[in-house]
Structure 1
């Protein structure tokens, strides 16, 4: 229907024109409302709840399946037994904690003391849940059993799939008295009452009662389906075999090796049973004894592995005396690589990493395995750090940033790259940070130069005007970074070497003298060489005046300074782009300059012996790594000497005036110490510390080279952003570390 509107345009409808609205709605066809949309139909569709799975179970299953591909026994354990094991054992104490408080301390030890015996030692009294105890023993024992299968041993001849399933089940049940019977649905009340009584001892009940308990546990944990997957009811024939393994997991207590006297009627042959009992005992001892890498030398563990392997295998280890975090992990990995590098035959390796501890590892070694060389370990650690970090630094340029003074980078880059390599990384970082999306500061630099000119610091005959252009910023910032910072730091290092050699020659005259660096390749002159390379030599006078701004201000007794801003490079970059206006991408231009500067500077570097910066790390590795056979006991005199040295360092740090010495505010390490720089740490360097001189103007903390390496590794390998220093700290990032109470297994 056509409706007039206030504008007179028939194609437009007025929002205020509603006089015929009702009549229009009356004419609408509403028959569509009578259609059948199926809303009255009954539906049998239900929304299925999302299946939920315990994260611990999911992770353990994935780990077991990944570590044991094609192993039906371990696959069935992960699918059938593990869910029930977690359900009934996670909160149950096996060692330490409630177990020691309610059983050993209140029952066993008073009885022992009453008869004149010493109380049970608590060396291994650390808290351990029943679940942790069982898995910590099962996984390494499984790896050992697989290794024994490759050798000429009784295990290879006697232990097949059925025996392995009984071995796993027997170990799971070996601490049957420690299960919380109140959690087991079908456990008779009689046994629950005994379990609740601190003075009750399930292990001292009759074999028939033990059979009843084991039967309930087997069915609760679904071990029947694990032992006999095809016919679960057939597991009953192995009941006494399981009891034999459970009884003999411990050799001092509750052993039951005499089958004829105790009424056990196992199905397996005697030799097979004893072999499985040894493996069960080994699993129990690994879970109970091992707390430190040095525990690999425990005589009980080595006696069992010697018997199982017919003398072909033994345990060994490496240990680290300090735990510094990521750096410790790098050292651990380097040592494991050193051991595994000796494996010539993959089918019969000399060393197999068995247990991973926070400060070391335990290996299963062949009897005639060669020893690793401790002399090569420091360089292996350094190579490992370089391999981890160099690629990441090239890719992400972590630690590079820009402030009001220009581009800057973390000092640790000098550890990974030579000058040409670092210049290439610096170019990538500059083009990433100073990108077209950022505003140019070229005009501000020009205005400041003209302000200096008006104050008489710069000659009035020169033109210092140029406008904003991000290409000027890119070229200037890279030129300054390459020249004043990268090459400048190298020159400072070379000059230090020259001075040290001069001091040494006073004591040792036959040392060759090191010549001074030629003036034309000093950082302040490199920019003039670049001007020549760009055919802009006519601007060298202006550049020299800009370089002398601070000196001129002092001569004229004027306030102010350049503040570290590379004005000379901004001026030269502006002139270069005036001459070459068509260049949009400066990467090739910068690469050509970089190649030219490298050609000038690298022959100079080759003339001087320069340390690579890793000497402290090499020394530290040599001190903290411990291998079997090394003397680890420190005499009292040596301990006193270490303490007195640390005290002397601390007092020297507090000393005012001359003779004051910097010490590390993080680890107190006796290594070279430098001031923390914000680009190299993940927190604000200006933090109060009692290891800094009170009342001083410098609030920055000092950091040793070893602690600095740890900070570097965390920044490179753990920081997923480009934030450093205060910006990182303000982000309130939190990291979750996983360290085992005992050990990890493959």
Structure 2
């Protein structure tokens, strides 16, 4: 079955993709994921590197381990895949006479796949170090071994005929001191190159080297600030590709708005003939014609703003304006009527907004069952006749008319003396209601206009909803035309636009554009000035002094609740929100359909997904597709997939990750946009009204699974701020910020390197599965109780069995004895749980030893009751806990052995293996049984009571039920093992 990454790539590749590349993804990529996904190409755990290097006899193990671990993580899978795709994409630009033949394309794929064989060997932890550059036979043999593991035959039947070329390219991908490019060293009587050595050295090696250097780049500006850029340009020159490298970079990472900026810049650059070849969280690197010049920054800023507000028609991406026009964002209605967000007034001209109001009012004023007009009319001094007449129009239609009139007056005509007469005249009510009556208000609510609206509707009682909408549109259009004609509207200005352009001028770099960066001192002075003068300071960005009071129309979080920053030695700071963060919040409302002020109630946990250094275009599109279609995590399904795969994370590959309604039909679909890309992908989970534990169980799983399956890096936090601007700012693969308590209880580090991911995911899924199996009440997972499950598991491995027994025997809706499959599963839970824990391992081994010893003299069917199964251990514990303290060790053993023997005497003979063995004299059988009982009791006293529990009877009593639960499962497990051994033996005899 296809892996997640493989499926995403297949579905997003254009239909005209070269069949060789398609075949590589179909055949080799799944094997690469299996072998490479948890091997470090860069970064990784210092301790694991150190242990491996010590094992391989490296004299500088400590220094090398520290040097490698200081780099951010990147898996060998991501390293190879992105390097290969980058080299492939570059090969398309080769001059006609250098274009690759079919065999050369296959060599390109296989050579790059194996080019870091040394990292693979180290990642396996082998004692034998990887072969050196001069050990050619060893290199060839290693490449052959890896080729078989990675399914090279499925990709290319004749690959072994070109093994020499593959090994040569793998060893000599880089033009460095570790290479061995002398052809005569490789050829001998038994082997020689099949293809032209000039093609190997002058074309293929440079393509491979370009791809390998590219995936070491961590920032777009590296092409101008480091030697990596020089090396890439050298390879372009050697390949006679008439292109140069340019970049754009945004020195900030906020989420949706920064992604929108990135995509707008990419779209602008495409129109200039720039082709993006590498994507980063903070920008992109492009191949451009040599004659290209850097565009004017002002043109880019204008294009980005238009894309942000109006959208990108070429990319079929909506802008904020579309959501404003539909009333989804930018407007709010409370008990005092509708309000317009400040950004709305800045993004549209007053004329446009007036004409926009009818559609917004139609959506926002939707209280059909409880209209406001009747309540408003009760506040007015009206005659009985007026009340009777107005009651005919006191419904939702009047609400909408009144809201439109009031909002227009408050926002655009507050100081206009002619507005009221004009409106009354337009409604033909100038003789019925005086201007003074329209302005009756109390508590900030205008009641007079509700009387006007009810009067108009009552006079036109036959108007249906559509006719009312048509009337409001006509009224708004006439109002806007009148205001324009008489110059009654103020000239529109947009501080948000100015703040956005200023933001771009500070943060956006485009190649070598003349870009002025704001000095740190200026930012500090602005921040300090805002604090001294008690000006609003953005609670999200902290250092952005260009802030305003936060309004519930733009902030997804409850006002005055998402910041706790105070001045040193001072009182409360006046908290606000900057223009840029306001735009970010508006975009989250629009794109996530989040109600203003309500998201916090759902306890969101955000996942910020960064590329590990870099994305190739194909991988970026694949990641974007998953983020667009990612479904809510169903941990019941996760548990099932994981168990079906033998408790291995490979089972998660076939999990239904995407919402089926979003998945497009077809394998190679060109309808999928590959322009709008996730430079830093975002997603979030919510759990309205539940505990913090509930909120964190799903994102904790995603945090560990996505880096393994996609090779990305993930930051998980409840903060709306991504914390980092790029993956280079944190070296780990996963970082959990403020995780729920169970994470620390389980002993999982919140900062995980690549090699830590699989053990952490295994530990998490064991705990989740045990909880879902035995402490849930389907369909309710009862995650609020998970902290208790986690504490029990880390306290004692025997609690695995105690919790299982609790689930089997105490849950009334599912009371039963464990089946064979249950026993296998629970025993494996325990075996996996004790990995790396010596104390727990010894405890479980002791319980297993005790059961093995008493099974020698006492055996019952696993279908018997727990009391029958546990008779020897129960009797032993009973005696140890009840004998007087002054009795010596030897006496305890003898007394317990005697009582146990008496209990056995009362049992059926078939439960006593020694007694049933009639091939031996009865006296001998009795002696054997007594000896076995004595051995068992000695172990109970010496190793269990005096050893494990230090002779503390109270402690033994406290753990009595745990011991019995562990012993019961050990008994069932051993019985199952014996049964399987007997079946195997009988089959062998036949």
Query: What band does the TM-score fall into relative to the shorter chain?
Result: 0.7 to 0.9
In the TM superposition, residue 140 of structure 1 has moved relative to its aligned partner by 1.4
Distance 2:447 2:78 in 1: 65
In the TM superposition, residue 106 of structure 1 has moved relative to its aligned partner by 5.4
**CA offset digits 1:226-283 (Å, max 9, x no partner):** 23xxxx2x32221110111011112224211111134362211111101111111111
In the TM superposition, residue 693 of structure 1 has moved relative to its aligned partner by 8.3
**CA offset digits 1:94-117 (Å, max 9, x no partner):** 221147962699569985799xx9
Identify which of 114, 117, 129 aligns with 1:173: 114
* Match in the other structure for 2:164: 240
CA shift in 2, pair 1:385/1:83, >3 Å: same
* Match in the other structure for 1:302: 232
* Match in the other structure for 2:9: 60
Identify which of 157, 161, 179 aligns with 1:255: 179
Q: Are positions 1:279 and 2:207 aligned together?
A: yes
CA shift in 2, pair 1:698/1:601, >3 Å: farther
SS at match of 1:702: strand
Identify which of 352, 364, 367 aligns with 2:275: 352
| Aligned 8 A contact 1:662 1:673 in 2 | yes
CA shift in 2, pair 1:571/1:603, >3 Å: same
CA shift in 2, pair 1:608/1:566, >3 Å: closer
SS at match of 2:341: coil
Distance 2:516 2:423 in 1: 60
* Match in the other structure for 2:539: 665
Distance 1:606 1:528 in 2: 14
Which structure carries more relative contact order (alpha carbon 8 Å, separation 6+)? 2
Matches within 5 A, 1:373-522: 373-387=296-310, 388-395=319-326, 397-435=328-366, 437-450=368-381, 463=386, 472-481=395-404, 483-490=405-412, 519-521=416-418
CA shift in 2, pair 1:164/1:321, >3 Å: same
Identify which of 257, 267, 283 aligns with 2:194: 267
Distance 2:569 2:549 in 1: 17
Identify which of 629, 632, 645 aligns with 2:526: 645
* TM, length-normalised to structure 2: 0.56
SS at match of 1:622: helix
| Aligned 8 A contact 1:68 1:74 in 2 | no
CA shift in 2, pair 1:256/1:250, >3 Å: same
Matches within 5 A, 1:574-723: 574-584=454-464, 585-605=467-487, 609-613=491-495, 614-630=497-513, 638-653=519-534, 661-670=535-544, 672-687=546-561, 689-691=563-565, 701-719=575-593, 723=595
| Aligned 8 A contact 2:44 2:68 in 1 | no
Single out whichever of 405-414 and 585-594 deviates more from structure 2. Answer: 405-414
SS at match of 1:361: strand
Q: Are positions 1:371 and 2:320 aligned together?
A: no
| Aligned 8 A contact 2:507 2:517 in 1 | no
* Match in the other structure for 1:97: 44
| Aligned 8 A contact 1:401 1:433 in 2 | yes
| Aligned 8 A contact 1:475 1:586 in 2 | no
In the TM superposition, residue 336 of structure 1 has moved relative to its aligned partner by 1.5
SS at match of 1:306: helix
* TM, length-normalised to structure 1: 0.73
Distance 2:580 2:473 in 1: 34
| Aligned 8 A contact 1:93 1:127 in 2 | yes
In the TM superposition, residue 119 of structure 1 has moved relative to its aligned partner by 11
In the TM superposition, residue 123 of structure 1 has moved relative to its aligned partner by 10
CA shift in 2, pair 1:491/1:607, >3 Å: closer
* Match in the other structure for 2:26: 79
| Aligned 8 A contact 1:84 1:222 in 2 | yes
**CA offset digits 1:10-31 (Å, max 9, x no partner):** xxxxxxxxxxxxxxxxxxxxxx
Unaligned runs of 5+ in 2: 311-318, 618-990
* Match in the other structure for 2:794: none
| Aligned 8 A contact 1:440 1:470 in 2 | no
* Match in the other structure for 2:253: 323
CA shift in 2, pair 1:533/1:243, >3 Å: same
| Aligned 8 A contact 2:248 2:510 in 1 | yes
Distance 2:371 2:584 in 1: 36
Distance 2:487 2:615 in 1: 47
In the TM superposition, residue 472 of structure 1 has moved relative to its aligned partner by 4.3
CA shift in 2, pair 1:94/1:470, >3 Å: farther
Distance 1:487 1:692 in 2: 39
| Aligned 8 A contact 1:410 1:677 in 2 | yes
CA shift in 2, pair 1:307/1:182, >3 Å: closer
Distance 2:498 2:65 in 1: 50
Single out whichever of 600-609 and 265-274 deviates more from structure 2. Answer: 600-609
Identify which of 138, 156, 163 aligns with 1:209: 138
Distance 1:359 1:469 in 2: 60
In the TM superposition, residue 594 of structure 1 has moved relative to its aligned partner by 1.0
Unaligned runs of 5+ in 1: 1-51, 184-194, 344-350, 454-459, 493-516, 550-561, 654-660
| Aligned 8 A contact 1:378 1:619 in 2 | no
Q: Are positions 1:568 and 2:511 aligned together?
A: no
| Aligned 8 A contact 1:472 1:570 in 2 | no
Single out whichever of 299-308 and 692-701 deviates more from structure 2. Answer: 692-701
Distance 1:99 1:248 in 2: 27
SS at match of 1:681: coil
Equivalent pairs counted in the alignment come to: 598
| Aligned 8 A contact 1:406 1:566 in 2 | no
| Aligned 8 A contact 1:293 1:357 in 2 | yes
In the TM superposition, residue 466 of structure 1 has moved relative to its aligned partner by 5.5
Aligned-residue RMSD, C-alpha: 3.5
* Match in the other structure for 2:431: 538
| Aligned 8 A contact 2:557 2:596 in 1 | yes
Q: Are positions 1:293 and 2:220 aligned together?
A: yes
CA shift in 2, pair 1:488/1:337, >3 Å: same
In the TM superposition, residue 376 of structure 1 has moved relative to its aligned partner by 1.2
CA shift in 2, pair 1:284/1:688, >3 Å: closer
In the TM superposition, residue 705 of structure 1 has moved relative to its aligned partner by 1.1
* Match in the other structure for 1:339: 269
